[in-house]
Amino acid sequence: MELLGWVVAGLFAPPGEALFRELQGGTLEEALGELKGTPVSLPHPSFPALQEAYTALFVTNPQGVPAPPYAGYARDGVLLGPSHHALLEIYREGGLEVQETWRDLPDHLAALGEAIALLASRRPDLAERLAREFLHPWLKRFGEAVKAHDPTGFYAQAVELLAEVIYAKTGVSQT
């Protein structure tokens, strides 16, 4: 679960030089391959194309953001709803706190990924619960939108791989 968490955190944080280096160097594919149990090949878009795709998919889009990166929104259809508060309770139960320097909501997928990674060794039950109850619903609700609207194919393939990995690790259905 720890590797899954770090991969999710890296994929859903705004793309910076580190993600681009991991993609170009093959370390992201190696990590996804380790999670899946078979070699993985991802599209390698240019850095500006990756940033544009991220922005259009998850941040701002004239036609509406196709996949808001908030786990609570995927479950409830609203920001700061009951799922947001349930997620915060799981964070508290696992001894996690949202740092003041974090500039987004605590149910952002990058934060969720970090929480899964941090809880994997000390509270594996909570890490799996986060993947099953929060990451999986986001992938189920928004995975097809990412696939339909990603001009690079990078995020489309990544969400498909994550759905397969979560199924393998937690047994939750991909559909």
The pLDDT of 55-70, averaged and rounded, is 95
**Cα dihedral sign, 105-16-126-139:** positive
The pair of three-digit structure tokens given for residue 19, joined into one six-digit string: 């993600």
Give, as one character, the DSSP assignment of residue 14: P
pLDDT of 174: 55
- Of the candidates 161, 127, 121, 143, the one whose C-alpha atom is nearest the C-alpha of residue 32 is 161
Query: Using CA atoms, how far apart are residues 170 and 149, in angstroms rounded to an integer?
Result: 28
Which pLDDT belongs to residue 20? 86
Would you say 40 and 33 are in contact if contact means Cβ atoms under 8 Å apart? Answer: yes
175 pLDDT band (50/70/90 cuts)?
Answer: low
User: If pLDDT is split at 50, 70 and 90, which confidence band does 167 have?
Assistant: confident
Q: Residue 173: its pLDDT value, please?
A: 64
Residues 7-33 have a mean pLDDT of 92
Q: Are 71 and 134 in contact (CB under 8 A)?
A: yes
pTM: 0.92
Nearest to 28 by CA among 50, 59, 60: 50
Average pLDDT over residues 45-53: 95
pLDDT, one tens digit per residue, over 71-108 is 999 999 999 999 999 999 999 999 998 777 778 889 99
Mean pLDDT of 27-39: 94
Q: Give CA–CA dist 35/96, Å, rounded.
A: 24
Provide the pLDDT for residue 170.
78
In angstroms, rounded to a whole number, what is the distance separating the alpha carbons of residues 92 and 110?
Answer: 17
DSSP letters for 20-63: HHHHHHTHHHHHHHHHHTS--------HHHHHHHHIIIII--TT
Question: Given this model, what pLDDT does residue 102 score?
Answer: 73
Which token pair is 71? 């786990």
State the average pLDDT for the chain: 93
Among residues 137, 159, 132, which one has the least CA distance to residue 148?
A: 159
